[in-house]
Amino acid sequence: MKKLKTVKFAVLMLFVCAVLFCMKPVGVQASTMQTINTKRPYKSYDITGDNKKDSIQTKWAFDKYVSVIVNRKTIYKDKTPIEYDPTVRYCRFENGTPFLFIESYGVNELAQATIVYYKNNKPKSINLDFGAYGWLYGVSDLSVSGNTFTVQYSLMTGSTGFTRLKPCVFVYKDGDIKRKGHNVYDVAALDRYTTGHEMLRTSYVSTARKLTAYNDITTKDRAFSIKKGAKIKITKIYYNRKTLLVGVEYNGKFGWVKGIKRIVAYKKPLFKNLAFGG
């Protein structure tokens, strides 16, 4: 009899352990990122966040705009025509929040990249562009882990030329997807030409004219002046869709230099021998 009770107890404990092993906190799912075929509608994913499968369709053609249609409603359209096949990725955070990452390329391989997600049953978008101050030239090293989305992108600004940023991290918070660091981007390196016309990837450049650096992004208080031809290190970029500033280190001090729009980059550059294209 005692042996029978022991066996029953062992079976019960195995059952309890199995249940506990299979259980996971409510709302927690595996984070994921899947590339969606842009040639046909997808009906396997929930993008609106109501736990029901939606119809997700991408429409595009050469020299035309990319459009994303969800449940027969257009929720996104590119700003400029494309020349290459777009890539649409379905992503989901660990908390179950889904979003799309849309990547496309147009003339001169200029890129467009956008995060699209739903909040309160309405689509919202985050464009990874630099407006009148620069072009996006590509994204790489995309990943979704937990409730964060990481992407590294390259751009060409009128102020810094070809520039590679350090990985940007987007997080989910209070129903929104926001980038850590808000409007400040860390610079990994930029491309410039040597005196022998060879391409050099570096963070150091020489000023093309006398520049003024400011203490903070308000640009109200001057921090120091930088003489023409001085060697400085570019470490940050601030961009709020209205203004672009370049964070520089000079003689052990840090300051913000007012950026220039891409249209005047060739006529009045901030720095020498920057690499431009397009």
Q: SS in 3 state form for 206-273?
A: EECCCEEEECCCCCCCEEEEECCCCEEEEEEEEECCCCEEEEEEECCEEEEEECCCHHHCCCCCCECC
Position 160 confidence tier, pLDDT thresholds 50, 70, 90 = very high
Is it the case that residue 188 has pLDDT exceeding 70? yes
Q: Measured between alpha carbons, how far is 199 from 190 in angstroms, rounded to an integer?
A: 10
Per-residue model confidence as pLDDT tens digits over 197-218: 677 889 999 999 999 999 999 9
More confident residue, 19 or 278: 278
In which band, very low, low, confident or very high, does the pLDDT at 195 lie, cut at 50, 70 and 90? low
Q: What is the mean pLDDT of the chain?
A: 86
pLDDT greater at residue 271 or residue 276: 271
Q: 45, 29 in Cβ contact below 8 A?
A: no
Q: What is the pLDDT of residues 161-172, one digit of tens each?
A: 999 999 999 999
pLDDT surpasses 70 at 16: no
Mean pLDDT lowest among 16-30, 38-52, 91-105, 183-197: 16-30
Locus of tokens 């029978």: 4
- CA dist., res. 260 & res. 158, Å (int): 6
Higher pLDDT, 183 or 107: 183
pLDDT per residue over 36-85, tens digit each?
A: 877 788 899 999 999 999 999 999 888 888 999 999 999 999 888 888 88
pLDDT of residue 278: 53
Rounded CA-CA distance 193/61 in Å is: 37
State residue 191's pLDDT score: 86
How many whole angstroms from its chain centre is CA 49?
22
Per-residue pLDDT reduced to its tens digit, 227-254:
999 999 999 999 999 999 999 999 999 9
202 or 257, which is more confident?
Answer: 257
pLDDT of residue 196: 63
